Amino acid sequence: MSITDLDRMFHPESVAVIGANEREGSIGAALIKNLIAGGYTGKIYPVNPRYQTICNLPAFPSVSAPEVPADLAVVATPIDTAPRIIRECGTAGVGGVALISTGGRETGEKGRAPVADIRAAAHASGIRVIGPDCTGIVCNRAKLNASFASRMPLPGKTAFISQSGSIYSAILDLSIREKVGFSYFVSLGSMADVDFGDAIDYLGGDARVGSIVIYMEALNRFRNFMSAARSVARVKPIVVMKAGRTQAGAVAASAHSGAVPGEDAVYDAAFRRAGIIRVKTFEELFDCAELLAKRPRPTRTGLAIITNAGGPGVMAVDALSDYGVEPVTFSPETIRRLDAVLPPCRSRTNPADLLANASPERYGQVVRICLDAPEVDGVLVILTPNAISQATEVARHLTQTLDGRPHPLFTSWMGGPEVEPGRAIFNQAGIPTFDTPERAVRAFMDLYRYTRRIEMIQEIPPALPRLRFDPAAARVVVRAGLERQNGLLTAAEARTLLTAYGIPVSRTIATTTEDEALKATCDIGFPASLKRLCPDPESDLSGAFRRVTVNGLPQTPPEKPNGVAVGPMFREPAYELALAARRDPNFGPIILFGMGGIPGEVVDDRAIALPPLNRLLARRLMEGTRVWRLLQGDRHTPPANLEKLEEILIRLSQLVTDFAEIEGLSLNPLRITADGFCATDVRVTVRPARVPSPMHLVISPYPNRHEAHIVTRDGEKLFIRPIRPEDAPLMVRMFEKLSPRSVYYRFFAPIRSLRHEMLARFTQIDYDRETALVAIREEAGEEMLGVGRVITERNGKNGEFAVLIADACQGMGIGAELLSRCLSIAQEQGLEKVWGLVLPENRNMLALGRKLGFTVRPDPDSGDYMLSISFTSPSPATS
């Protein structure tokens, strides 16, 4: 179902409250009163057959009554009545349902059945449902308080999504005290239908939402969440407090939400990949929300600290150091200006100590100097009360001086009642204020981390030579493993599997006699290692695989004469790494990288990433470990071949992408020697997969099934394939050769260059949400000749197309080839309609549209032509 259906829920023209009453202390009474008190101007329909009127409003026996044309139904009846009510709402044409009804998943198995019934009823009725076990929803612009929270939030551009009703209420209450504005409050409850991904998608598409803050206990529909978060976080900050970081906390969160707890480190990896900022505490969550609502985001870490006492300044510096950051160094010009207004008996460094007798005027002068300094990206102003400080007057003077202009300034008024009036002044003026310097610094760095994370997400990955794989050979091995009860591949099978994907594994030869072992040793070369073959995983694997001899065969138990595997003996590797992959129950396959061998067992050094990987993501995975510093080399050891290591990680990522059946895979150690890389111990386990590849991933991988080689009508051989992030340089080179006319036809504006953000947007796509195919000429290096794309709209039913062809290649049929293939993929993905606007003078595109079956009509709003094609019914081309 579409997220556009949520519009009728958050901006309803009418609301039905099912279970409304006038009983003091009941949820049904609170809902009616909150709708009225919030200033909602639409129609309110109390629904309860026991009443004639409720709160002076006519009551109705059923939502099906013809007098009740509701866009939103808020349900406060027992949960076992919810499925029937949802079906009734669907029949009555209600837009959506908010289920306040309690008793869902957190009650255990007893509560799971009603949630499943609610989900089934929602899908059968084609109606969106929020809840059950939710507090309700609030939309400030619609003056809608369809919740049992007693107050409306102040207006603002931050949206809040919560899985907990108590956190929902606490944040709302704090926001009013701190004068923090919100556009939406959304309580999801047990998420029988609408989940985090849906809410992020909807709120991210609202221009009145500038940022999204989330309290989360567990996820469902993980791929939907990742797709939505990766799309929205590029343009709007998403801050998440994920509860259940510890094992005990995860169990508690599971008991509350009813969801299966997941490994916290995997959530961390997922949030990083999506560009989400994760905070650890309620305090940090609210602080981040306050800064997002009140301040522009810092692009650098140049923080100036202004204080009237030395101690708090040192606290702020220490807090910065926790992030590996130092206070900004003032330029000579800034120092000269500060010297003119500050006493000579002071330190001329940052923090700027104004001394205990600092007047409001001195504070104002120094703040203005720092805000004007080009090296400064943020200003933290600290005040501690003393006998001569004027906390309230300083606050008032600063707010008057700044006069409401946007500025990266925030404050820490330390103390109790004496500084409280100053904090109130800052809150009223929209200036964030914190009770300690550490909280202020942490909030500043959280926002900087978001800016930096978005820069990293939009970074263009370097290209990698096209990698070759042999999935057919790998599939034979996987099928053999699936036939065994334990799913464990033999050493030879594991080597065949990895070799099929180009992952270097030491050569081994299986032998059953001493003569065979000697022959194999001569073939491989001396010195050699001999490892006991033991396919039974319940036996002593460590003993079977790690007993080494150079004089003869190890003694094998007479009841299991399985033989030995003969392989090369490696001497003194420079480093030993550990690479692994395993199937996470929530996020699908994950890649692990870290220190290997014996040191890796002692030092917990690992980083986690979600496939698919490219070179940039592989490098960041390595950078997240301690062994990364060793890989740089030193005076005695040369650096490792990092590009080759990136390639190995990408190959491993592709292997687990192609085979959902891989449950666990370990290469430990992966040895780095002067000759390169080689895995000496490999273990692979396979199990039947619940879903086929690539649906087992939470991030849509590169769809290589859409690759094809074609020959144009002019005999040109081209490679048609989906666009990749690495294609950015190819797109730039194609754009630079375009005529101004071609640019104008495509972008409807005279664009001279592709900004970095545009380039990232065009090449780093979500294959679940967008289809983009490129035509590549492969002779003498790759050259991009054209791009066709279909972008899915928020409703999930329609898509907008665009085509761009190099000037020299127009008229060769490349545009028709690209667009027709994009339309086929769009239809395969379930889209019902594809459309696009075309300028009247772009006659080639109009002709192409007619050729492909588009309906062509003048657009009355723009004066351009609207081209559309429906996949549900024939669309004859018309003029």
Cα–Cα dist 105/99, whole Å: 14
* Rg, Å, the chain Cα set: 32
What is the dotted CATH code of the domain comprising 153-283?
3.40.50.261
| Cα 657–chain centre separation | 19
| Residue 256 near residue 217, CB atoms below 8 Å | yes
- Give φ, ψ of 37 to 5 degrees: -65, -30
Joined tokens for residue 505? 């594994």
Per-residue pLDDT reduced to its tens digit, 331-352? 999 999 999 999 887 778 899 9
Of 438, 428, 374, 353, nearest to 398 (Cα)? 428
- Give φ, ψ of 782 to 5 degrees: -80, 140
Please state which CATH class domain 295-457 belongs to. alpha beta
**pLDDT over 50 (residue 20):** yes
The predicted pLDDT at position 307 comes to: 95
| Residue 654 near residue 469, CB atoms below 8 Å | yes
Banded pLDDT at 514 (limits 50, 70, 90): confident
Cα–Cα dist 390/379, whole Å: 20
Query: Could you tell me whether strands 303-307 and 378-383 are parallel, antiparallel, or unpaired per DSSP bridges?
Result: parallel
Bridge partner residues of 790 (DSSP): 771, 801
Average pLDDT, the chain: 87
Place of tokens 């300028």: 839
**pLDDT over 80 (residue 531):** no
3-state secondary structure 739-772: CHHHHHHHHCCCCCCCCHHHHHHHHCCCCCCEEE
The predicted pLDDT at position 688 comes to: 96
Banded pLDDT at 252 (limits 50, 70, 90): low
**pLDDT over 70 (residue 299):** yes
7 vs 508, more confident: 7
Tell me yes or no: is domain 704-870 CATH 3.40.630.30.
yes
| Residue 682 near residue 491, CB atoms below 8 Å | yes
Banded pLDDT at 39 (limits 50, 70, 90): very high
Per-residue pLDDT reduced to its tens digit, 664-706? 999 998 988 766 888 888 999 999 999 999 999 999 999 999 9
What is the dotted CATH code of the domain comprising 1-133?
3.40.50.720
The predicted pLDDT at position 540 comes to: 40
Per-residue pLDDT reduced to its tens digit, 489-498? 998 899 999 9
Total-model pTM: 0.85
**pLDDT over 60 (residue 104):** no
Banded pLDDT at 539 (limits 50, 70, 90): very low
The predicted pLDDT at position 552 comes to: 36
The predicted pLDDT at position 626 comes to: 92
31 vs 569, more confident: 31
Q: 464-506+570-699 and 704-870: same fold?
A: no
Of 453, 449, 450, 446, nearest to 287 (Cα)? 446
The predicted pLDDT at position 548 comes to: 33
3-state secondary structure 158-185: EEEEECCHHHHHHHHHHHHHCCCEEEEE
Of 116, 77, 147, nearest to 85 (Cα)? 77
Burial 620-630 (b: 16+ CB within 10 A, else e): bbbebbebbeb
The predicted pLDDT at position 537 comes to: 43
Sign for the CA dihedral angle at 816, 821, 827, 829 comes to negative
| Residue 784 near residue 730, CB atoms below 8 Å | yes
Cα–Cα dist 409/370, whole Å: 10
Cα–Cα dist 375/333, whole Å: 11
Q: What Cα–Cα distance (Å) separates residue 282 from each residue in 166, 167, 215, 295, 439? A: 12, 9, 9, 20, 12
Banded pLDDT at 571 (limits 50, 70, 90): low
What percent of the chain is modeled with pLDDT above 70?
89
Burial 533-547 (b: 16+ CB within 10 A, else e): bbeeeeeeeeebbeb
Where do the domains of the chain lie? 1-133, 153-283, 295-457, 464-506+570-699, 704-870
Per-residue pLDDT reduced to its tens digit, 699-749? 999 999 999 999 998 888 999 999 999 999 999 999 999 999 999 999 999
Per-residue pLDDT reduced to its tens digit, 831-872? 999 999 999 999 999 999 999 999 999 998 888 999 999 997
Cα–Cα dist 240/229, whole Å: 11
Q: Which fold has domain 464-506+570-699?
A: D-amino Acid Aminotransferase; Chain A, domain 1 (3.30.470)
The predicted pLDDT at position 294 comes to: 67
**pLDDT over 60 (residue 3):** yes
Per-residue pLDDT reduced to its tens digit, 45-91? 999 999 999 999 999 999 998 888 899 999 999 999 999 999 999 99
Neighbours of 347 (CB within 10 A): 11
Per-residue pLDDT reduced to its tens digit, 542-558? 333 334 333 333 343 44
**pLDDT over 50 (residue 160):** yes
Banded pLDDT at 879 (limits 50, 70, 90): very low
